[in-house]
Structure 1
Amino acid sequence: MSEHLGPYELLSRLGSGGFGEVHLALDAEGRTVAVKVLHPHVAADGGALARLAREVETMRIVGGPHIAEVLDASLDGDRPYLVTRYVQGRPLSAVPVPVADLRRLAAGLADALLAMHESGVVHRDLKPANVMMTEGEPVVIDFGIASALDSLSVTASGAVVGTPGYLAPEVLEGRPAGVEADVFSFGATLAYAATGRQPYGQGPASAVAYRVVHHPPDLEGAPAWLEPLLRECLSTDPARRPTAAQICDRLGVAPVAHVPPPRLGPVRPRVAEHDEMSTREIRPPAKEQHRRSVEESRARHREKVRRRWLIGSALFVALLAAAAREPLPEVSLFLLAAYALGVVSDAGVALFSKGPYRRSRMIADLLGVAGTVGLCFGLATWFSAFTLALFAGTALVVGVVFLLSA
């Protein structure tokens, strides 16, 4: 049975971090979002919640294709939470490295860095685990939370805010840190993606932190066009690191203008005992441009999944029909007719739809029917029924394994 939190229906737990658990959820309009429910020890710190409320005001301004925008927040009640755009994909820390399309990754991260810094937001915990890869594009998540809750340097579970190896030296040494710390984390994250290794090695957190402060990074294997920029970003002197705008200029990334939304009116407060600043429930204004881009992305994803299903089902039906053609010709004809009817029905639905892929969907359906019939006769000509039955069984097992793993 699903659980509700405010207007959101929590579907499944996606993961957990130092500050909270992330859930896949549906909003009131049935759209998927990511809901981060703060851990009890965070929710019990009124001062931390007040700082987070102030930070959320700024975090709402940040937007763009490479940012998981903050859509909503409720920081009162027993279970305070943040709501962001749901990004379907895998974190950079879980994809094969070195990354194949490194320029695309670098450009996307630079664009996200510029969007945050232009809005006055410092991430403070940029690392491969906080970069989601979706269709080859990076999307930065969890920005601003570590910066707002930096007083909780050690949580109840013992987790340190940030990850040694990606935290700037000034953060590790307790010195004042600003946007330059994000530039260091950007360089370390990109170095990991470029070389496939942690730039400051592995081992105990204290040993990694020591190497960050006193040793140069390991950039062996980084491409020549990127290595100089990485060394500048990973400088131990914050003043020598380039700004986000300079990084974009070096990488040829065109900066995107971000227009802040209108200010919010007052909403339900809860005043912390030791902080005059109250937490507030925050609702964003409509973001038509963002909504259109999200809907377009979903439409592309649905079309990609549908075409994969079309190709896979065509191959499977062709194998079954070819295997049955000699011993059971009626079954073979029935399989082809049923498949053709289903696909032609889908083409009919596409005919009356208004989506951008209507024409390509109809053409793919018709080609799928013709290809299935042609493949069936070709396979039946070249292979025996027994061999085709083995192929069909193998395809069925592979398909089931793929679905379970997905």
Structure 2
Amino acid sequence: MSEHLGPYELLSRLGAGGFGEVHLALDPEGRTVAVKVLHPHVAADGGALARLAREVETMRMVGGPHVAEVLDASLQGTRPYLVTRYVQGRPLSAVPVPVVELRRLAAGLGDALLAMHESGVVHRDLKPANVMMTEGEPVVIDFGIASALDSLSVTASGAVVGTPGYLAPEVLEGRAAGVESDVFSFGATLAYAATGRQPYGQGPASAVAYRVVHHPPDLEGVPEWLEPLLRECLSTEPGARPTAAQICARLGVAPVSHVRRATVRPQVAADVHARVRDQAHDHAHVRAAADDMSTREWRPGREQHRRSVEASRARHREKVRRRWLIGSGLFVSLLAAAARVPLPEVSLFLLAAYSLGVVIDAGVAMFSRSPYQRSRLITDTLCVAGAVGICFGLAAAFSTFTLALFAGTALVVGVVFLLSA
């Protein structure tokens, strides 16, 4: 039996990270989304949740084909969660490397970097595991979460903010992480994709971090058109690295703005206000953070009518029923036309049996409370009339042998289709 979290139906667990578990889920309209449920030690940190609530407002503004947009969030109760677009594919860390379509990957990552930085979002944890590959295109996930949840209480509980080898030197040295640190992570991620090796080697995290700060990256094997850009991106000095816009210009990516207008559901901020007030005696800094929060309405889309998951499934069942009704009508009319001359009784029996089945279906529709009641009656009537008309039309246009050949072919194709489905 599936589990529900707020308005979302959790279908299966996709994985887990330092901050939470990710589940494949259905939204109220029946669309697949990714729901990240924060770990209990993260949910217990009121300060982290307050920062996350503020950061979510900015994260909602990031859009584009190469980022997994944040669609919703709820920070109430014991299981706060974030909802993002579900990206079907494999992470860059799990695909064969070196990547064949490296230019396509570089352009997509550059576009994602520009989309985040235009909106004022710093990813802070860009790495191959956070780049999903879907049909050859990269999609960046989990942007903004690491920087929002970077607090002593959260990291002390076991969440790792960033990955050695992809974290910029200034971050490893304890300095502030800005957009320049994302550019460094971008360079390290592309270096891995181009060579199939970690740009600063492997080993203990402390050893890798030392190499990041004191040694140049391993870029042997990187194509000539990309190596100069990666060397600049992996500079130890943040000011020497190019901006996201400059990266896109050098990669030939058209400068398209992906900033979205976003609003936040009042419940998100209200929940954090309540949680922060409850923990105010332990976290004095949280009270100030909550006071700065604004409450704005959050609508995941522009749709005004939101169907429930059950309604979406009913609509799907109606589509399947209609297709079966039309398909079986065409097949019965073909068989009846083939049997009309040699076996007229069989032809009549086939049409009568099909018509009886459709009449029963129409009778069920009349007494049901389905919103598709009227359309079902119209479809049933048209199917009966269409089957009879097609039968006589085929019988007049083709010979019995030809119709029998058509019917046999249709039967074989139908069986193969059912078995493959």
Q: Which runs of 5+ in 1 are unaligned?
A: 289-332, 347-395
C-alpha spacing 1:31/1:225, structure 2 compared with 1 (3 Å): same
CA contact (8 A) 1:60 1:70 kept: yes
Q: Distance in 2 between matches of 1:13 and 1:261?
A: 31
Q: Which runs of 5+ in 2 are unaligned?
A: 304-405
**Residue type of the partner of 1:269?**
D
Whether 2:180 is the aligned partner of 1:180: answer yes
CA contact (8 A) 1:41 1:156 kept: no
Residue 77 of structure 1: CA displacement? 1.1
C-alpha spacing 1:265/1:220, structure 2 compared with 1 (3 Å): closer
Task: Give the structure 2 partner of residue 269 of structure 1.
Answer: 271
C-alpha spacing 1:21/1:285, structure 2 compared with 1 (3 Å): closer
Q: Deviations over 1:217-239 (max 9, x none)?
A: 00000000000000000000000
CA contact (8 A) 2:265 2:299 kept: no
Task: Give the structure 2 partner of residue 284 of structure 1.
Answer: 299
Q: Distance in 1 between matches of 2:250 and 2:223?
A: 15
Moved more, 147-156 or 74-83: 147-156
Q: Pairwise mapping of residues 213-362 of structure 1 onto structure 2 (< 5 A)? A: 213-261=213-261, 263-264=263-264, 266-267=266-267, 268-271=270-273, 272=276, 273=280, 274=283, 275-276=286-287, 277-278=289-290, 283-286=298-301, 337-341=410-414
CA contact (8 A) 2:235 2:241 kept: yes
Residue 340 of structure 1: CA displacement? 2.3
CA contact (8 A) 1:76 1:281 kept: no
Q: Pairwise mapping of residues 101-116 of structure 1 onto structure 2 (< 5 A)? A: 101-116=101-116
C-alpha spacing 1:281/1:145, structure 2 compared with 1 (3 Å): farther
Q: Distance in 2 between matches of 1:46 and 1:203?
A: 35
| TM-score of the two chains, using structure 1 as the length reference | 0.70
RMSD (Å) for aligned C-alpha atoms: 2.6
Residue 152 of structure 1: CA displacement? 4.3
| TM-score of the two chains, using structure 2 as the length reference | 0.68
Residue 142 of structure 1: CA displacement? 0.1
C-alpha spacing 1:85/1:124, structure 2 compared with 1 (3 Å): same
C-alpha spacing 1:264/1:156, structure 2 compared with 1 (3 Å): closer
Whether 2:107 is the aligned partner of 1:34: answer no
Q: Deviations over 1:44-71 (max 9, x none)?
A: 0000000000100000000000000000
CA contact (8 A) 2:127 2:189 kept: yes
Q: Distance in 2 between matches of 1:63 and 1:37?
A: 22
Which of structures 1 and 2 has the bigger CA Rg? 2
Amino-acid identity (%): 82
Does the residue aligned with 1:87 lie in a helix, a strand or coil?
coil
Aligned residue-pair number:
305
Residue 154 of structure 1: CA displacement? 6.2
Task: Give the structure 1 partner of residue 10 of structure 2.
Answer: 10
C-alpha spacing 1:287/1:342, structure 2 compared with 1 (3 Å): farther
Task: Give the structure 1 partner of residue 79 of structure 2.
Answer: 79
Task: Give the structure 2 partner of residue 161 of structure 1.
Answer: 161
CA contact (8 A) 1:153 1:161 kept: no
CA contact (8 A) 1:73 1:281 kept: no
Does the residue aligned with 1:270 lie in a helix, a strand or coil?
helix
C-alpha spacing 1:144/1:15, structure 2 compared with 1 (3 Å): same
Does the residue aligned with 1:269 lie in a helix, a strand or coil?
helix
